Amino acid sequence: MDFMEKLMTKVSEGTKILSQKTDELLEITEIKMEIKRLEEEILEAKIFIGEMVYRNYLGDETSTMQLREKCKEIEQMYHRIHRLTSEINEIKGIRQCSNCHMDIREYSKYCPNCGNKIV
């Protein structure tokens, strides 16, 4: 390979990596937006729960069922946020220590926080 060929190969490799990184960033941004949307929904659901608690206090029996259903919805949304956060970490190549739950870069063999061996 002559110099120009080598250079062109390097440039196209660089472009490939760059576009891959851009895709990853775009995906992370989309996931973060979804998390933000869920967090807002959770906030609204909690306001609703407050209203239900007050109606319950006033003697409205139907509010108890609605209260439970809303709590279940919130629980599911928190689960989804947790999954989305793991997705982001996976894209970034970050894993969690099984002992202290600290975020760790893929290439580390031991947790820098507690020394736990990363499997």
Chain contacts with Zn ion (rule: CB under 5 A) = 97, 99-100, 102, 111, 113-114, 116
In terms of CB distance, is 66 or 116 closer to Zn ion? 116
Strand 103-105 and strand 94-96: the pairing is antiparallel
CB of 89 to Zn ion, least distance (A): 15
CB of 28 to Zn ion, least distance (A): 24
CB of 99 to Zn ion, least distance (A): 4
Task: Identify any residues that bridge with 104 across adjacent strands, giving them in sequence order.
Answer: 95
In terms of CB distance, is 52 or 104 closer to Zn ion? 104
CB of 119 to Zn ion, least distance (A): 12
Rg (CA), the chain: 23
**DSSP string covering 48-111:** HHHHHHHHHHTT-THHHHHHHHHHHHHHHHHHHHHHHHHHHHHHHTEEE-TTT--EEETT-SB-
Residues in the chain: 119
In terms of CB distance, is 56 or 116 closer to Zn ion? 116
In terms of CB distance, is 69 or 103 closer to Zn ion? 103
